[in-house]
Structure 1
Amino acid sequence: MTKETTSFVYVTYILSTPEKVFEAITKPDVARRYWDHENVSDWTPGSKWEHVRANEERTVELVGEVIEVSPPTRLVITWANASQASDPASHSRVTFEIEEYENMVRLTVTHDELEAGSGMAKGISKGWPAVLSSLKSFLETGRGIDLSAKPKSA
């Protein structure tokens, strides 16, 4: 029996260049400025990558493998909670497509092969919009958004 899967797609337009968007995703010192995490890898196909919290503890929260790299237009990685690294069935896939679009970039993030109804599927549906909004703000203004912000009560 195969598990039911789902996917999540988010598209945003950023006043930037493909090179700067790609760098913001793959360079740890840039990613920490809008994501509060660093994406650490040598970014070659078959290499591991780690999503490391950018604080004193340096907790590795997510892990995966680099599947495809075509700077500055495409990056494909697998994605799993660090606690599930040894279970390939728990891994999903993230594809970053970076397309020049007149004087801006169209960034499409597709997170697929997610187990339907899983905690990961629920988490990324809230996480990706916040992270990608922060990426957009950072590249356009030099400042990311507060990813720990919570809705104001009515």
Structure 2
Amino acid sequence: MPGAAGRPTLAERLEMLFDEIRPQEPTGRRYTHDEVAAELRRVQPGLRVSGAYLSALRNGSKRNPSLDLLTALAQFFGVSASYFLDPTPQDQAEEEIALAKVGHHPQVRNLALRALELSPESLAVVTQIVERVLTDIRHGPPSAGQETVNRDTSQPDS
């Protein structure tokens, strides 16, 4: 249940990260508490954290982690530290997770980086292609008799 004014609690924010950010593909297995704690200690040897403590934060029985731990968790999951520190509403937290998922998925990250090189016109074409593929996935490809090309009808045929 969200905290004050629809803002997610620390436990809810952690739950979203563990649920959405995966070690391999977006639908792969979740990180374990012990796995995350071990990596945090490896990157920041002075940090005192265990899998059990992360579990307690995630289920809400512990609520006041150190700033160092929150910063380390943010770096691990690929979100900004403000994800934990700013009282952002639920939709903003979800947007931050969506961006972090891009960073954790090598093919999507590569596509996004390549898209930065495109002109606005080329980016619009690629966006249309992606939208068309997503539509086909959701609803199936058009039938053989359906028109598949959008025509500009503002100008008369020659």
Q: Same fold (TM over 0.5)?
A: no
Q: Which has the higher contact order (CA 8 A, sep 6+)?
A: 1
Structure with the bigger percentage of helix:
2
Structure with the bigger percentage of strand:
1
Structure ID, larger Rg: 2
TM-score, structure 2 normalization: 0.28
